[in-house]
Amino acid sequence: MQQPIGSGYGRHTPASEVMEGVDLSGKLAVVTGGYSGIGVETTRALAAAGARVLVPARDLAKARAIMDLDGDIQVARMDLENHQSIERFAMDVVQEGGLDLLINNAGVMACPERRVGPGWESQLATNHLGHMVLTKALLPALLAADAPRVVCLSSTAHHITDIRWDDPHFDAEPYEKWKAYGQSKTANALFAVALQQRYGGEGLLAFAVHPGGIQTPLQRHLQTEEMVRFGWIDEDGNLTERAKGMFKSVEAGASTTCWAATSEKLADHGGVYCEDADIAAIAKEGERHSGVRAYAVDPEGAARLWTMSEKMLG
């Protein structure tokens, strides 16, 4: 099933166009990181379609700025690095009844080495393990909804590496920030596959998405010299012509998430990896910026990651 289906949308289609005609009245959505970058546009699009959107946030003061958006949007305290905080948030959501959409959007990228919890590498801990704890805690609410969907934000960075099965937390080898980020994005993709394996029979649909290259606060840990070396900006901090052709607008960056969350065309395609508001093809040899690596949608790898992650979480 991992092949494009002709969605009718393209690389630069804005989220508002993807959501035209979609009615989410009476639906409840949770969007992690829904107050920054493409998360704001995802929150905006879902709320505009009539959903009540709940945005968990570590920084409540910053998150409350999105309350100026049109629609029914609420903010609640949660920290993806604090599992007790996640459980408290999830308990409140479960008490409300059914949860229709869970958008696992929050994340960190290429940050300096940092350890959280019992010594976990912070990118894997935040991007994958935190969202796994949240999703599992919200399962009673998700499975109580009529047609629940979970969308996991991955990235083309998953091309960097498969799961580092023997050393996921860089205990044996020196920390390398891009390998750590790439691993966490592979984990996000495999987590969607594993969710589909385990709960697809109960009506849940799970998807992984690559939003595209976008200039957002996600790049906050990158040095100017590094972005110049990548060809993203010039020495004055302006986007290069190459970057202008490569990067999407923030609203277009939210379109694949919104499409995966709502498109009827995906009703029989649970577990797939999507990009540019369509299902992605398996990447060809040498491809780096498009398609999905076979290891990131491998059912055996997904089951193995689930088991390994549960052991980490105790």
Residues forming the active site? 181
For the chain, the domains span 15-213+251-313
User: How far apart are the C-alpha atoms of 15 and 293, rounded to whole Å?
Assistant: 25
Tokens matching residue 232: 């993203």
- DSSP classification of residue 8: S
Position 226 confidence tier, pLDDT thresholds 50, 70, 90: low
3 state DSSP class of 305 = helix
Instruction: Express each pLDDT in 62-101 by its tens digit.
Output: 898 887 889 999 999 999 999 999 999 999 999 999 999 9
Instruction: Express each pLDDT in 283-303 by its tens digit.
Output: 988 887 889 999 999 999 999
Give the pLDDT score at 88.
98
Instruction: Determine phi and psi for 134, rounding to 5 degrees.
Output: -65, -50
Instruction: Express each pLDDT in 121-146 by its tens digit.
Output: 999 999 999 999 999 999 999 999 99
Q: Are 102 and 159 in contact (CB under 8 A)?
A: no
Give the pLDDT score at 229.
63
How would CATH label the architecture of 15-213+251-313?
A: 3-Layer(aba) Sandwich (3.40)
* Global pTM value: 0.91
DSSP H or E run through 75: strand 73-77
Residue 26 has pLDDT above 90, yes or no: yes
